[in-house]
Amino acid sequence: MSYKIETNCIQAGYTPKSGEPRVIPIIQSTTYKYETGEEMGKLFDLEAEGYFYSRLQNPTCDMVAAKIASLEGGCAAMLTSSGQAANFIAAFNICSCGDHIVSSSQIYGGTFNLLSVTMKKMGIEVTFVSPDCSEEELNAAFKENTKMVFGETISNPSLCVLDIEMFAKAAHAHGVPLIIDNTFATPVNCRPIEWGADIVTHSTTKYMDGHAGTIGGVIVDSGKFDWDANADKYPGLTTPDDSYHGVIYTKKFGREKAYITKATVQLMRDFGCVQAPINAYMLNLGLESLHVRMPRHCENAQKIAEFLAGHPNVSWINYCGLKENKYYERAQKYMPNGSCGVISFGVKGGKDGASKFMSRLKLAAIVTHVADARTCVLHPATTTHRQMNDEELIEAGVTADLIRLSVGIENVDDIIADIKQALEG
């Protein structure tokens, strides 16, 4: 039986049998017991399915991953210790030294560093393209050794809406998958796989957890990308893995499971960036109310965006729910029920004005975090993006006066009153 997304937020991933716990149990165990060494040996050879060590797989994490796979319309998923780990593993699972990535330039600062600095040290190069580039410009960014395309549904913090269909079309024309970080939209508002994305990642730290309680990430595979049809590009998936007696992932596990299985048994085994079972349990509590929280985040953000747009001390505002916004039409196409609760705007007086405004706020807190139940603000140019030079800041869509306002689910009149007194103080 198939259910709608609201039902899957609550029910997917775990169906207890008679007498079993009603709620996803926390299996806080590093290891699992077997009757014979032979049984365990088969697990190590990937000849049998089962748990043997929680660095590779844990039942609590798997149940929560299965729920997120269902929400995104994917066929397999794995949790990671953070969103950073999710994006790294998602990319490194199909890219190695000598390869190339095409990425939208407007992405999360941590991911920008990951791609442009750390992965570069590993011999993986990236070409950044504007999310507003033409189809021709996008196609021109590909090289012989390009292995993937990357972008964010709604970019953090610049709030560009990506033309997922166009990016998917270009990726597929070059025989590579499109990986979309869907953190800000969440599957409640946008399901990138329905628009052609092959792999979806999240920082579950944000709306999915929703309460600023746990750092986490997830990778979801649609199972749609045909690795074998592009076998020469993806030897890691289509030729023998020496670390498992020569297993070929696409042959042994099929198109639907090859990518996540490789990421689990090879990269999790070697990097060990697992999500703790207790964190997965807390993430699941957040997922159960995701479909109730997201509409409220969007409704509050819309009202606040309209208030800011009409205020004389605000120099500009970026929220794709406003009709005059550059991304309004695109947001209506990809997220007709609302985008997210994050707004960016400039306060008159530049960097100085921004900092004065922020220190006058009483309800909205100054924190690095974004996308949780509590309203919070951040000044990216002096915090999350301070490693970038002026040119890179402009390229990333972050101006010196930009304030990122993450609208929570408090009473909207209280939030507006706080912003008003801080703007006029």
Ligand X SMILES: *Cc1c(COP(=O)(O)O)cnc(C)c1O
Tokens of 180: 């979309």
Q: How many CB atoms lie within 10 A of CB 343?
A: 25
- Residues listed for the chain: 425
Separation CA 32–CA 36 (nearest Å): 12
Based on the shown chain and the rule CB under 6 A, indicate whether residue 205 belongs to the binding site for ligand X.
yes
SS3 of residue 301 by DSSP: helix
Taking CB under 6 A as the binding criterion, the range among 71-79, 83-91, 192-200, 310-318 that sits at the site for ligand X is 83-91
Based on the shown chain and the rule CB under 6 A, indicate whether residue 179 belongs to the binding site for ligand X.
no
Start-end of H helices in 310-401: 328-334, 350-360, 390-395
Work out which of 206, 233, 293, 385 binds ligand X, going by CB under 6 A. Answer: 206
Select 89 or 258, whichever has its Cβ closest to ligand X: 89
Work out which of 186, 203, 238, 318 binds ligand X, going by CB under 6 A. Answer: 203
Select 160 or 237, whichever has its Cβ closest to ligand X: 160
Separation CA 397–CA 391 (nearest Å): 10
Work out which of 72, 99, 181, 221 binds ligand X, going by CB under 6 A. Answer: 181
Based on the shown chain and the rule CB under 6 A, indicate whether residue 215 belongs to the binding site for ligand X.
yes
Work out which of 14, 88, 108, 128 binds ligand X, going by CB under 6 A. Answer: 108
| Least Å from the CB of residue 176 to ligand X | 20
Q: Which x/- pattern, by CB under 6 A, does the window 115-154 give for ligand X?
A: -------------------------------------x--
Query: Strand order in 146-152's β-sheet?
Result: 76-80, 217-221, 199-203, 178-181, 146-152, 100-104, 125-129
Select 150 or 345, whichever has its Cβ closest to ligand X: 150
Residues 6 or more apart whose CB falls under 8 angstroms from that of 251 comprise none
Based on the shown chain and the rule CB under 6 A, indicate whether residue 241 belongs to the binding site for ligand X.
no
Separation CA 132–CA 129 (nearest Å): 8
Based on the shown chain and the rule CB under 6 A, indicate whether residue 217 belongs to the binding site for ligand X.
yes
- 314-318 and 342-347 as β-strands: parallel, antiparallel, unpaired? antiparallel
- Looking at the DSSP bridge assignments, the partners of residue 77 are 220
Residue type, 123: G
| Least Å from the CB of residue 38 to ligand X | 40
What are the angstrom distances between the C-alpha of 113 and each of 10, 211, 356, 412, 413?
35, 26, 29, 35, 38
User: Using a CB cutoff of 8 Å and minimum separation of 24, what contacts does 251-259 make?
Assistant: 252/46, 255/223, 255/224, 255/225, 255/226, 255/227, 255/228, 256/75, 256/76, 256/221, 256/223, 257/75, 257/76, 257/223, 258/227, 259/76, 259/93, 259/94, 259/199, 259/221, 259/223, 259/225, 259/227
Instruction: State which residue has the least CB distance to ligand X.
Output: 83
Work out which of 8, 183, 250, 399 binds ligand X, going by CB under 6 A. Answer: 183
| Least Å from the CB of residue 233 to ligand X | 25
How many chain residues are in contact with ligand X, going by CB under 6 A? 16
Select 159 or 304, whichever has its Cβ closest to ligand X: 159
| Least Å from the CB of residue 226 to ligand X | 27
Based on the shown chain and the rule CB under 6 A, indicate whether residue 110 belongs to the binding site for ligand X.
yes
Taking CB under 6 A as the binding criterion, the range among 8-16, 128-136, 203-211, 281-289 that sits at the site for ligand X is 203-211
Taking CB under 6 A as the binding criterion, the range among 35-43, 103-111, 266-274, 398-406 that sits at the site for ligand X is 103-111
Taking CB under 6 A as the binding criterion, the range among 106-114, 256-264, 393-401, 410-418 that sits at the site for ligand X is 106-114
Taking CB under 6 A as the binding criterion, the range among 200-208, 262-270, 309-317, 324-332 that sits at the site for ligand X is 200-208
Based on the shown chain and the rule CB under 6 A, indicate whether residue 82 belongs to the binding site for ligand X.
yes
Q: Which x/- pattern, by CB under 6 A, does the window 149-178 give for ligand X?
A: ---x---x----------------------
Residues 6 or more apart whose CB falls under 8 angstroms from that of 130 comprise 104, 105, 106, 137
DSSP 166-218: HHHHHHHHTT--EEEE-TTTHHHH--GGGGT-SEEEEETTTTTT-SS----EE
Q: Which residues sit at the interface with ligand X, rule CB under 6 A?
A: 82-84, 87, 108, 110-111, 152, 156, 181, 183, 203, 205-206, 215, 217
